[in-house]
Amino acid sequence: MDTNTAKPKLTARQEEILGLISDAISRSGLPPTRAEIATRLGFASANAAEEHLRALARKGYVELTPGTSRGIKLAKQLTLPLQSLQQLTLPLIGRVAAGSPILAVEHIEKQVPCDPSLFDKGADYLLKVRGMSMKDAGILEGDYLAVKKTSDVRNGEIVVARLEDEVTVKRWSQTKGPHGIKIELIAENPDFKNIIVDPRRDEITIEGLAVGLIRPGGL
């Protein structure tokens, strides 16, 4: 009998916490503390995290060791790759304050559990899309754009770029002309103008490459 299918179903929040635990163990070999779970998921206190962990333990997904901050262990049958559970959690970035790193804690709205197989090139964070400038590329306002943090991009790829103090999603074009390098951030909606960048006077930083998309209604 498949013990995974016999287990009680999880709530969306419980799946999120289980994914966070699995991701932490796969990355560092250690489970998160209750305080870390509370911080990552925006709980008011570690007690809220503890309640969810006890529910996961009752349903047979984790084993808890009292008296230790990292006393969280995946149930034995879940130590193999979690195909039915979303084991990757990615920070969802909302509005980005001027002059601060895109992955700064204050920009993270929540952690979102994802299926790692969705993103062939790997993803480091999700960016909440604002506006409809990329509508014809299938990227709509409110979507979560999966982004790989890199500055190595090619013409035609969709990137997250910071121009001065504004973060934008556009298609990348870089050409060399008689007056030097010309960068164009191309919109995929005729109602929006492309952004022409002159690197000699404009400050531009590539924050990452789009590697996938999640539509929140489908989560």
Q: Cite the active site residues.
A: 133, 170
Q: Tell me the two tokens of residue 135.
A: 């509508």
Question: CA angle 143-148-150, nearest 5°?
Answer: 135
Q: Which residues contact 73 (CB under 8 A, 6 or more apart)?
A: 31, 62, 63, 64, 65
Distance set, CA 198 to CA 99, 134, 151, 177 (Å)? 20, 22, 17, 12
Q: Are 166 and 206 in contact (CB under 8 A)?
A: no
Which residue type occupies 169? V
> How far does the chain reach from its first CA to its final CA, in angstroms?
28
Q: Are 96 and 89 in contact (CB under 8 A)?
A: no
